[in-house]
């Protein structure tokens, strides 16, 4: 499969299909010996290219607790840019621009992320990669464990981010709203690849791969 710049792709499939594994391969997190099979902007994901690839691919883990570890929200978001050599006013600008993009108010900058709501943690985790000026956003189950209001807010946020997005998810309604295209994976292989509404409405295909047609598409029939 290939993804052109600017496209939003939903990665769907049953448990164990390989969705999370694919995301981890995009920035070399699961080894980087086979760059001929995984390329980002034409660059093989191999050891000589890892620094550049990881700057361009922002990976947001399923659990934001795995991504947030600094004393304050500001320091969490600043961690990546600091390691790229940014400092002073330029660093502050990057952090505040990223937090504004995910609608985290400035008064939370000095808070410990672990004291915030799960939805706020999720947004801050996204901000940590936006602060790196990532060009590809790879998200693993972004709406997992969110309440309805938090889920709705995150869907609106993702839909409005003008980045290439790969979203691994079991939330098929979210995939339908955010992604024009879905890729159905099963046992590490692409089982279907096409327009979201077309693939997700295929009842026989979905049943074959232990999935269900989203309720909104069933009601629209």
Domains and CATH numbers, the chain: 8-219 (3.40.50.300)
Residue 114 pLDDT grade (very low, low, confident, very high; cuts 50, 70, 90): confident
pLDDT of the residue at 31: 67
Q: Give the burial string for 140-151 (b: 16+ CB within 10 Å, else e).
A: bbbbeebeeebb
Query: How many CB atoms lie under 10 A from the CB of residue 195?
Result: 12
The pLDDT of residue 27: 84
Q: Taking residues 12-40, what's their average pLDDT?
A: 84
C-beta neighbour count of 36 within 10 angstroms: 9
Please state, for a pLDDT cut of 70, what percent of the chain lies above it: 97
Give the pLDDT band (50/70/90) at residue 34: low
> Between 83 and 33, whose confidence is greater?
83
Which pLDDT does position 161 carry in this prediction? 92
Q: What are the backbone angles phi and psi of residue 40, rounded to the nearest 5°?
A: -125, 120
Digit-coded pLDDT (tens) for 157-184: 999 999 999 999 999 999 999 999 999 9
Residues 42, 57: Cα–Cα separation, whole Å: 13
Percent of residues, the chain, with pLDDT higher than 90: 82
Mean pLDDT in residue range 34-62: 87
Residue 167: the pLDDT is 98
Average pLDDT over residues 143-169: 94
pLDDT digits (tens, 9 = 90+) for 184-220: 999 999 999 999 999 999 999 999 999 999 999 999 8
Nearest-angstrom CA–CA distance, 193 and 179 = 12
Q: Half-sphere exposure of residue 158, counting CA atoms within 13 Å on the CB side?
A: 34
- What is residue 36's predicted lDDT score, i.e. its pLDDT? 67
């Amino acid at each position: 499969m290939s993804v052109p710049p600017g496209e939003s792709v939903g990665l769907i499939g049953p448990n164990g299909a390989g969705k999370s594994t694919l995301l981890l391969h995009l920035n070399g997190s699961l080894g980087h010996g086979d760059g001929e099979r995984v390329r980002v902007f034409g660059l093989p994901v191999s050891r000589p290219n890892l620094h550049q690839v990881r700057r361009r691919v922002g990976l947001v883990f399923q659990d934001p607790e795995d991504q947030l570890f600094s004393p304050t929200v500001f320091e969490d978001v600043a961690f990546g840019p600091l390691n790229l050599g940014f400092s002073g006013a330029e660093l502050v600008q990057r952090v505040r621009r990223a937090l504004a993009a995910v609608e985290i108010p400035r008064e939370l900058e000095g808070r410990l992320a672990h004291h915030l709501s799960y939805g706020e943690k999720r947004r801050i985790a996204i901000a940590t990669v936006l602060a790196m000026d990532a060009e590809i956003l790879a998200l693993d189950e972004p709406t997992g464990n969110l309440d309805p209001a938090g889920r709705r807010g995150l869907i609106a946020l993702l839909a409005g981010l003008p980045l290439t997005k790969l979203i691994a998810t079991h939330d098929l309604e979210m995939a339908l709203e955010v992604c024009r295209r879905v890729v159905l994976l099963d046992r590490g292989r692409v089982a279907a690849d096409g327009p979201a509404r077309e693939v997700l409405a295929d009842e026989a295909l979905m049943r074959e791969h232990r999935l269900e047609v989203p309720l909104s598409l069933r009601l629209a029939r």
